[in-house]
Structure 1
Amino acid sequence: MKKILLVFLLFFSIKGWPQQNENNEISFSKALALHLPSYKKKAEKAYRLRNFNEAKVLFDSLVNYKLAGSFMDDFGFKNLKGKEIYLSKFKKPVYLLTYASWHIPGKGELPALNELAKKYSNEIDFVVVFWDDKKTVKNLSKKFNHYISVLYVDETENEGAFAVKQLKHSLGLPTCFLLNEEKQIMKIKRSVFHPYGISKKESFDMNYEAIEEGIANHLLKQKSEGSNGNHLALSPE
């Protein structure tokens, strides 16, 4: 009877464990399921106590030690023609930025992103995903140059619910994911928050530097070194 109980418990513990393949790879959604509940509980307490430094440390710890190294799920979005586009369509390293129409970017953020997308267009795919309806996104897309793929998920259509839950409601927005060619997450970043009242030039410089730093250290560096055999094994603890 004890042996039967042991087998029963072992079966369900394995079934509920985030699945990893033979290369010790784990998906982003599985890593989230494992680590997000604990993070949210601690982060909510930190924000409730207005301990914003602690909240930042918790977020950095989550993304740097629990989520980085996982592989982004092959989420599907829509382009401005209404066609379904999956992340696997992009063959280069991906600079993936999640946005919403109600988010007001820093005055230098979009110009910096456009400039860098043009500069690195031969080496990196730049993708912006909006959580909004097609009409709104089509209008917003005019702010981005043609080197950036503008996609969207309209929650009112009840489609893409899995992508919305994982990418929008888990970490908030705007959030930037730096993915190598195999869609492994090399880094997760927030947008630059700069002091109020600085000039457009100062805002541009701060955003340009922050975005390019991420590209150089987490996308181009990985591409030049090669990522085969260098997958990060995520700890289940």
Structure 2
Amino acid sequence: MRKIVLLFILFSPTLFAQQKEDERLYFSEALYKHLPKYEQKAKQAYRYRDYERAEELFDSLVNFSLSGSYMNNFKFRSLKKKEVSLYDFEKPVYLITYASWCIPGKGEIPALNKMAEKYHDKIDFIVLYWDDPKIVRKKAKEFSDHINVVYVDESKNSGGFVVKQLKHSLGLPTCFLLDKEKRIEDIRRNPSSTYASSKEESFNRNFRAIEEGISTHLIPDNDRMDLAENSIAE
């Protein structure tokens, strides 16, 4: 009897940890549960060109249904065509989904590059393209070496699950802010830039938006003071 009790004491922390992990709500599950209702309301809002309502619906979906869930361990390909898993990245993740036909706003990529150069020691920056690898390699030249560029090639009939979840569910470009456990802290859409905006104005707008997201969701409290002091110094 004592041996049984001792074994339970030794192994129960592991069992409880496994049980806790199994109880996680994953992004794919949250989408399955809440996306249909959102899409129905969003389509109606866009039909009547009520863009403010559509934005409110997206924010509500993120804040009340998707934030707090855990991103699935999706598989991508590196520029060397090697399989890469999301969970291979051990730091908090700043993930943006793109496609070659998406035209970034003025200053958008330079702002992202600047942030990656500044915070790559604390955060893994990932740009995910839905494209042919040849196209992705050309696009990758626009990004800092501190940004991990990965892709999913739909023409190869692979990665159907990740495509459905990350591309066709919320559209693109979309930004996912994940803590180091891959828990979703926030999901955002990049700030829009008008044709009248200068490259400098667009850069500043995107830089502020990225930094606000990072400082609010991805940087531990004890590091925020250092970031604030560095920003003031700059």
Bin the TM-score by the shorter chain: 0.7 to 0.9
TM-score relative to the length of structure 2 = 0.85
Q: For the Cα contact (< 8 Å) 1:177–1:189, is it kept in 2?
A: yes
Unaligned runs of 5+ in 2: 1-18, 225-234
Aligned residues: 206
Letter in 2 for 1:167: L
Other-structure match for 1:55: 54
Q: For the Cα contact (< 8 Å) 1:180–1:222, is it kept in 2?
A: no
Taking the aligned partners of 1:50 and 1:67, their CA distance within structure 2 comes to 25
Other-structure match for 2:197: 198
TM superposition outliers: structure 1 runs of 4+ over 4 Å: 20-24, 222-225
Root mean square deviation, CA, Å: 1.6
TM-score relative to the length of structure 1 = 0.84
Post-superposition Cα deviations, 1:176-219, rounded to whole Å, max 9, x if no partner, equal 00000000000000011123211111111111000000000000
Taking the aligned partners of 2:221 and 2:183, their CA distance within structure 1 comes to 11
Taking the aligned partners of 1:99 and 1:45, their CA distance within structure 2 comes to 26
C-alpha displacement at 1:221, in angstroms?
3.5
Change (3 A) 1:88 1:168: same
Post-superposition Cα deviations, 1:71-130, rounded to whole Å, max 9, x if no partner, equal 000000000111000001100000000001011001100000001001001100000000
Taking the aligned partners of 2:150 and 2:80, their CA distance within structure 1 comes to 10
Letter in 2 for 1:45: Q
C-alpha displacement at 1:51, in angstroms?
1.3
Give the % identical residues: 56
Other-structure match for 1:68: 67
Other-structure match for 2:187: 188
Taking the aligned partners of 1:117 and 1:189, their CA distance within structure 2 comes to 17
Taking the aligned partners of 1:171 and 1:222, their CA distance within structure 2 comes to 30
Other-structure match for 1:121: 120
Taking the aligned partners of 2:153 and 2:190, their CA distance within structure 1 comes to 23
Other-structure match for 1:154: 153
Query: Which has the larger displacement, 20-29 or 101-110?
Result: 20-29
Change (3 A) 1:44 1:183: same
Letter in 1 for 2:58: F
Other-structure match for 1:107: 106
C-alpha displacement at 1:64, in angstroms?
1.1
Change (3 A) 1:44 1:128: same
Q: For the Cα contact (< 8 Å) 1:180–1:223, is it kept in 2?
A: no
Post-superposition Cα deviations, 1:144-196, rounded to whole Å, max 9, x if no partner, equal 01100000000010111100000000000000000000000000000111232
